[in-house]
Amino acid sequence: MRRIIHLFLPAERPGPIAKTMQTPAANRYVPPPQTPQSAGAASLGLPSRRKFVGQLAAIASAAVALPVAGCIDPPGASGAVDLVWGRRGLSEGRFQKPRAIAIDAEDQLYIVDTTGRIQVFSADGEYLRGWKTPDATNGRPTGLQVDDASRRLLVADTHYFQLLSYSLDGDLIESETLGGTQGTGPGEFSFITDAVRDSAGNYYTGEYSDIDRIQKFSPAGEFLMQWGSTGSEPGQFVRPQSLAIDRRDHLWVADSCNHRIQVFETSGPEPTLVRAWGEFGHQPGQLYYPYGITLGEESDCIYVCEYGNDRIQKFDLDGRSLEVWGRSGHAEGELFQPWGVVRDSRGRLHVLDSNNNRVQRVWL
């Protein structure tokens, strides 16, 4: 059975989508004014016609979901947005271009923005607590991951060349900091993008700029191995922006500027490339700056957040596109340069709609 997610043109857009929860007024989304600046290209020097191309692609690629064994359909209506929250600002619960999102076992959301502050919210957008990283003068973190086994929040402190470790209440565990020295040697970092831990507690980190690579560290933080270099050949990277670990301890890498996904088996003395898929483009199955990835509950599928195409794609493990959600814009169900996506215990996706300064919750 084929399922279509309708993407409405402006002339036929329906009224407001019904919410299942009432968002606190302070965090309720307020659409930004339509100005040439807000509609134009932003960071990474994307061409000004990107939005036009992205809109055409979104309209042309209304998502078709194909039945695939092992890939579980969500209990909610696929493609349905049931909550939009967040707005621009500096007060508690507001955002200044949020850059990364993570989720814990209790479905609490951790979000860092360009002020260097980390804010924690309930799954319904209620502000719970927050804190700031030690310094954000040089730049802000671009990667967050919750390690449920150790109950730690891993923060890729990108412009300070280090991985910070916090308790989920916001206490910095200085003894667990990795790196802190800029360089390309073992245990040193260029611009660190993300970090994850496997079932044995080993750390994996991604980085770019002076070197594009993955490093592996022991649970005690000792350097174990590294792989990758700058390039487009299998096993090479150009900005490995987001990482994920599946149930088999395979490492998934969003090789962002190569517009692809690479998967590695890392239990041996050297990593082995398991699979790689993806190519630049705007059609279903193609990618344009994949900045965030998250795996399905049983590691049976993967959701990819595309910064360049303003959309989320759901893939099977071999890279076949199953569904596409989102298009360029500021209304509900539309995205403006999203940076991340996480999946909660109920199967809902929380999409970090970065340049709209908000979060959208959707079934997919």
What CA–CA distance (Å, rounded) separates 252 from 311?
19
> How would residue 298 be classed by pLDDT, with cut points 50, 70 and 90?
confident
What CA–CA distance (Å, rounded) separates 269 from 272?
10
Give the list of residues 6+ apart from residue 205 with CB closer than 8 angstroms, or none: 156, 163, 178, 179, 189, 192, 193, 194, 195, 214, 215, 217, 243
What CA–CA distance (Å, rounded) separates 139 from 116?
8
- At 47-104, the pLDDT tens digits run 444 444 444 444 444 444 444 444 555 666 788 999 999 999 999 999 999 999 999 9
pLDDT score at 219:
98
Q: How many domains does the structure of the chain reveal?
A: 1
Average pLDDT for 265-286: 96
pLDDT score at 73:
59
Q: 207 vs 36, 199, 222, CA distance in Å?
A: 33, 22, 17
Residue 322 has pLDDT above 60, yes or no: yes
pLDDT score at 74:
63
What CA–CA distance (Å, rounded) separates 169 from 229?
36
Q: What is the CATH number of the domain that holds 256?
A: 2.120.10.30
pLDDT score at 84:
98
What CA–CA distance (Å, rounded) separates 254 from 244?
9
Helix intervals (H) in 173-251: none
pLDDT score at 79:
87
Domain of residue 139, residue span: 3-363
By residue count, the chain amounts to: 364
Regarding beta strands 152-157 and 3-4, do their DSSP bridges make them parallel or antiparallel, or are they unpaired?
A: unpaired
What percent of the chain has pLDDT above 90?
77
What SS3 class is residue 258?
A: helix
DSSP class of residue 51? H
**What type of residue sits at position 168?**
L
What CA–CA distance (Å, rounded) separates 283 from 67?
19
